[in-house]
Amino acid sequence: MNFKLFIKLPILVFIIMFTLFGGSGFDKVEAFSDQIIQRGATGDDVIELQSRLQYNGYYHGTIDGVYGWSTYWAVRNFQEAFGLTEVDGLAGQKTKDMLKRATKYNREFVYENLKKGNRFTHYGGVPWDIQSAPNQQTIEKAKKTAEARRAESEKRFTAQGSAKSSDNTKAQPQEGGGQAPKEENPQGGGQAQGGESPQGGGQAQGGENPQGGGQAQGGENSQGGGQAQGGENPQGGGQAQGGENPQGGGQAQGGDSPEGEAQAQGENPQGEEEQPQDSPEPAQEPAKEEAPPAESAGPTAVNVPGGFSQNDIQLMSNAVYGEARGEPYIGQVAVAAVILNRLNSATFPNTISGIIFEPLAFTAVADGQIWLTPNDQARKAVLDAINGMDPTGGATYYFNPETATSKWIWGRPQIKRIGKHIFCR
């Protein structure tokens, strides 16, 4: 009897421990972070966004974690098809909630292929094993399957939305009390409501070029604190977000071609706050908002030295770490300097993400090392380069002579050698 108890006791303890600790993590897995995902962003949220959009046939581009124009239009088409209030290309909370309801996301499959550098797709209704390194015929077949699912899901969710809207209309009696309907723009608090997440306190939402005191917002989940989000040229209110501000843990790939990327400085304008005019009543204080989580890696766009955003610093740090983590510190600063020199050259793209993710530009992008987490030294090297340190003497190219196979790069005018890299004009 004691012998049986001796055997059963460890088994029971193991089952209890697994239930308490091993299984607890599954309930905590959530899709996306709390941030708005917008054009110019990079990282995990964008990878999930592209994967989910491709699942139902809205996005047919490469799943690379870079929120470019093709992703932007895929988001807009999804928003329009599912009847969302704001069709603006910004993936806020309502858009993300609808994506979670209408699509699926195989994170393990996606990241396994990203790490291997495989060409892959994420279409729904197609076996995963044939979507890793598929041929063109398989891709076209998968597209048709996903687009068929797209039509079905649009019909299903649109019907559900119409039914809910009808029920809500019947359930709301008309009562007095001087309450303005939600679709109106009540005055008296300096607040205009429109979009998916209206906020009070001297705020205006929507529009391509919001101007005004306090805060201009556009999109689904605008943020407070004197920031302007959305649109192409937000003005007023402390800081502006939008444009090409890539983010995320990207790491540049280099090798024979130059590495790095710099950010266009004209896309994150700042302006002084303007006082709202013709307000019939004094503006109320803005409603307080919860600060975003500290671990959020989303498009925060807080400015840093030189007018670069945090997104740019992060992406450049990833590039330096991926291309030069084995180099001396001066060699890491040199790689960052090349990124900035390319930004100032008309030969290259005019944004950080455009330079780093330029096709065939960097081996780190090709082999997936762009997603490695950089260390503090890589970030320090980037900041030193932004603050004017350029040990390369103005180089826009560099290569490793031990691994370079391109004859073209050897023909570039060489400036100097730092560590294992030769820097060229």
Full pLDDT tens readout for the chain, 425 residues: 566 666 777 777 777 766 655 444 333 335 788 888 988 788 889 999 999 999 988 998 899 888 888 898 899 999 988 899 989 989 999 999 999 989 999 999 999 999 888 889 999 888 998 888 778 888 888 778 877 767 777 776 665 555 555 555 544 444 444 444 444 443 433 343 444 433 433 433 334 443 333 333 444 443 333 333 333 343 333 333 333 443 443 343 444 443 433 333 333 334 344 444 444 444 444 444 444 444 444 443 344 556 688 888 988 999 999 989 999 999 999 999 999 999 989 989 988 888 888 877 777 777 777 779 999 999 999 999 998 899 999 999 999 998 888 888 898 999 999 999 999 99
Give pLDDT, residue 59: 93
Domain extent listing, the chain:
44-163, 245-264+301-425
Residue 22 — φ and ψ, nearest 5°? -70, -40
Which H helix or E strand runs over 150? helix 136-171
* Of 25, 81, 75, nearest in space to 46 by CA: 75
User: What gap in Å lies between CA 262 and CA 283, rounded to an integer?
Assistant: 40
Residue 405 — φ and ψ, nearest 5°? -115, -10
Q: Count CB neighbours of 264 within 10 A.
A: 20
CATH 1.10.3210.10 fits 245-264+301-425, yes or no: no
Q: Give me the long-range contacts of 291-294 (CB less than 8 A, separation at least 24).
A: 292/34, 292/35, 292/223, 293/33, 293/34
Which H helix or E strand runs over 353? helix 352-356
Give pLDDT, residue 100: 92
Give pLDDT, residue 139: 81
CA distances 333 to 33, 36, 72, 365, 399, Å, are 32, 32, 33, 19, 15
User: What gap in Å lies between CA 418 and CA 99, rounded to an integer?
Assistant: 48
Give the torsion through C-alpha atoms of 83, 150, 38, 70, to 10 deg: -130
Whether this prediction's pTM lies above 0.85 is answered by no
Give pLDDT, residue 52: 95
Mean pLDDT of the chain: 70
89-112 burial code (b ≥16 CB/10 A, e <16): bbbbebbbebbeebbebeeebbee
Token reading at 26: 């599954």
